[in-house]
Amino acid sequence: MCTALTLTGTNTTLFGRNLDLDLPFGQKVVVTPRNYPFKFRDGTKNNNHEALTGMATVIDGYPLYAEATNESGLSAAGLNFPGNATYHPTQDGSTNVAPFELIPYLLTNCQNLNQVRELLNNLNILDEPFAPNIPNSPLHWMIADHTGSLVIESMSDGLHWYENPLGVLTNNPPFPFHLENVKLFQNLTSAWPENTFAKDIPMQPVGVGFGTHGLPGDTSPASRLVKAAFERAAPNALDPEVNVSQFFHILESVAMVKGDTYNQADKPEYTIYSSCCDTNTGTYYYTTYQNRQITAVRLPEQLDTDQLYQFELVNEEQINFLN
Q: What are the residues whose beta carbons fall under 8 Å from the beta carbon of 265, sequence distance 6 or more? A: 22
Q: CB 158: neighbour CB atoms within 10 A?
A: 12
Burial (CB < 10 A; 0-12, 13-18, 19+), residue 238, is: middle
* C-alpha to C-alpha distance for 210 and 181, rounded to whole angstroms: 21
Do the bridges between strand 123-125 and strand 95-97 make them parallel or antiparallel, or are there none, so unpaired?
Answer: parallel
Burial (0-12, 13-18, 19+ Cβ within 10 Å), 9: middle
**2 is an active site residue:** yes
Nearest alpha carbon to residue 179 among 161, 197, 160, 166: 166
Cα–Cα dist 274/20, whole Å: 9
Q: Which amino acid is residue 294, in one-letter code?
A: I
Select which of 2, 110, 276, 277 is catalytic: 2
Instruction: Give CA angle at 244 (239, 249), nearest 5°.
Output: 85
User: Can you list the positions of beta strands (E) in the chain?
Assistant: 2-8, 13-21, 28-32, 38-39, 45-46, 52-59, 62-70, 75-80, 95-97, 123-125, 139-145, 148-155, 158-163, 168-169, 270-278, 283-288, 295-297, 309-311
In the three-class reduction of DSSP (H, G, I as helix; E, B as strand; rest coil), residue 258 is classed as coil
Catalytic residues: 2
